[in-house]
A and B are shown apart, each in its own frame.
Chain A
Amino acid sequence: MAEDLINSFMTGPDENGRFGDFGGRFVSETLMPLILALEEEYERAKTDESFWAEMDDLWKHYVGRPSPLYFAERLTEYLGGAKVYLKRDELNHTGAHKINNVLGQILLARRMGKTRIIAETGAGQHGVATATVCARFGLKCVVYMGAHDVERQAPNVFRMKLLGAEVIPVTSGRGTLKDAMNDALRDWVTNVHDTFYCIGTVAGPHPYPAMVRDFQSIIGKEVREQIMEREGRLPDTIIAAIGGGSNAMGLFYPFLDDKDVRIIGVEAGGKGVDEKMQHCASLTGGRPGVLHGNRTYLLQDGDGQILEGYSISAGLDYPGIGPEHAWLHEIGRAEYVAITDVEALAAFQLCCQQEGIIPALEPSHALAHVVKIAPTLPADHLIVMNMCGRGDKDIFTVAKALNVDLTA
């Protein structure tokens, strides 16, 4: 790690939206003025106390923040090693961390006078969060969702519709999350005047990766305070699951300069990270490329064509990763590992049984890594894992994977 060369890991991105070589603004000319206007407005809002006062109020009374930092006593005992804490972001309104960011972007959209909000969604969590906040503020909401995901996430599609959103099934490309993002960008290029694109993760052109990270950083800031209160010191290891990487960036960012805090991101290993490429582990099994407005690690073939990822978790099913993660990976400040479907499913069940918490499949990946390392660590080692979503949405997928017929 180039510690002696860098005073802080928290100063990025630079004025060009780069984290090292990653990030940037790789968008068509039609969108450039829009993302520059967004950057300008975000820079203004960042230092505007009234903006943050409104955020804090909504976080507290609408979302239910701060979310608890919970000592997983039985799990700790079961694993017989490190002390495991769970950051309970699954208790947020709408059941995941996604709403932390959506609130920030919708408040920005309102400041900019935009009346129509578009979003992409994979599992539907970001779509539900966006539809929710749009309903709260009386804004028109259009959600792009891969046709395949519309089918397998029917409850979330219905939720979005109840909340007044229009859900557009995406059939372009292969009809997955990345294609939903393509179609959302096509919508934005067409409706430049009234539309705000609410991106759900720390990816896309600058300023999205930094902006979404800043909104999600509430997670890590709360963890710092809560662990100091509980343990009187910082954690030794922090762990989060990564698709695009927004819950992880939110947890990691406030700890980047605490060099004694080990940071681990967990990618979706699907059926295994090998040449068959049936996974979504962009850092472990991909290489740098340019997609959706930024340079980052991507799953791609030898000719630079983007590959479809695969994971049991629709929320991790994306062939890229936020550029700041790519940078943290290259400089070695964070470690990135992959967990397979099978390992995540086992952790999912363990969490249900040991803690009475049904986790989403996304954080089940992070938990599976906790299960791997906690037994090897001493009892005074503190692990904080981000429980970024609840598993209600996943019960059908899990039942299928466990060969249980819910209709019988």
Chain B
Amino acid sequence: MTRIDDTFARLRAEGRKAFVSYIMAGDPDLATSLEVMKGLPGAGVDIIELGMPFTDPMADGPTIQLAGQRALEGGQTLEKTLDMVREFRKDDATTPIVMMGYYNPIYSRGVSRFLDEAKQAGIDGLIIVDLPPEEDEELCIPAQAAGINFIRLATPTTDAKRLPKVLQNTSGFVYYVSITGITGAAAAQAADVAPEVARIKGATDLPVIVGFGITTPESAQAIAGVADGCVVGSAIVKLIGEGHAPAEVLARVSELAEGAHRA
């Protein structure tokens, strides 16, 4: 059982949906992003997705691309991202942290070294965009063995034939990508998402969380209503990019979280 499993068990018992929020580690600098991160649980965030900046984020739209660039220009490294988590864990032992990003920085560090450090730092799950089930031996299997959830993306192109393969080594939750496209692009429609979530839930007992294209408390409510929760990323990252102070960012996160929790 990871903190992720515990969190979903608690939410289920309370009859609540999960609100997951994404921020980029080190955006625009380490101190600011750590301040935002520390404020997320208080703003109603159930699970934190912490982005690891990468020079070539192929699945991300302009908002998250620019966040990654700001972080890298600010000197963010994987080591500093791990430090952020260690720092956060000093005051918060329960909020699950999922690291999200691309494989190369982890591969470069060395998979077993990274997993040791990630586990010790208090990371609960990984979402690695460019590791499909076909590459499970790389990181997914070792991560599970190390007690870290490997959360897989399912997408509108994941058909019935492929779905079992996608679910096979997934743990923690399933992240349903509500649109074909990049992060922060089109708006997700609950009516389109509902049957897809039902299709996935028909094939797994894991919670299904929906992300990509959720920008308002209303859409957070609508989408969370047809799933086990929702993820908001670009809409929060955009505020950070515009230079809003952490308190302002967290105020908006609260509104989004309330939206999701109304579902």
Are A and B subunits of one complex? yes
Q: How far is the CA of A141 from the CA of B5 in the complex (A)?
A: 47
Interface residues in B29-60 (C-beta closer than 8 Å to A) = 54-59
Q: How far is the CA of A25 from the CA of B135 in the complex (A)?
A: 7
Number of interface residues of A (CB under 8 A): 36
Among listed A102-110, A213-221, A259-267, A299-307, interface-contacting one: A299-307
Q: Are A32 and B134 in contact (CB under 8 A)?
A: yes
Number of interface residues of B (CB under 8 A): 44
Q: How far is the CA of A26 from the CA of B104 in the complex (A)?
A: 10
Q: Which residues of chain A are near B129, meaning CB under 8 Å?
A: 28
Q: Are B72 and A182 in contact (CB under 8 A)?
A: no
Q: Which residues of chain B are near A186, meaning CB under 8 Å?
A: 58-59, 61, 181-182
Interface residues in B170-229 (C-beta closer than 8 Å to A) = 177, 180-182, 185
Q: How far, in Å, is A114 (CB) from chain B's closest CB? A: 15
Among listed A66-74, A241-249, A285-293, A331-339, interface-contacting one: A285-293
Interface residues in A1-57 (C-beta closer than 8 Å to B) = 16, 24-34
- Asked if B157 is at the interface (CB within 8 A of a chain A CB), the reply is yes
Among listed B91-99, B106-114, B238-246, interface-contacting one: B106-114
Interface residues in A185-200 (C-beta closer than 8 Å to B) = 185-186, 189-192
Q: How far is the CA of A179 from the CA of B78 in the complex (A)?
A: 22
Closest B residue to A298 using CB positions: B104
Contact residue among A16, A25, A173, A289 (Cβ-Cβ distance under 8 Å from B65): A173
Digit string of B160-175 for contact with A (CB within 8 Å is 1, else 0)?
A: 0010001000000000
Q: Are A306 and B134 in contact (CB under 8 A)?
A: no
Q: How far, in Å, is A141 (CB) from chain B's closest CB? A: 21
Q: Which residues of chain A are near B24, meaning CB under 8 Å?
A: none
Q: Are B104 and A291 in contact (CB under 8 A)?
A: yes
Q: Are A306 and B104 in contact (CB under 8 A)?
A: yes
Q: Which residues of chain A are near B54, meaning CB under 8 Å?
A: 304-305
Among listed B7-15, B117-125, B147-155, B248-256, interface-contacting one: B147-155
Q: How far is the CA of A29 from the CA of B65 in the complex (A)?
A: 19
Q: How far, in Å, is B216 (CB) from chain A's closest CB? A: 22
Residues on B lying within 8 angstroms of A by beta carbon are 54-59, 61-62, 65, 69, 72, 77-79, 102-109, 129-135, 152-159, 162, 166, 177, 180-182, 185
Residues on A lying within 8 angstroms of B by beta carbon are 16, 24-34, 172-173, 178-179, 182, 185-186, 189-192, 289-293, 295, 298, 300, 302-306
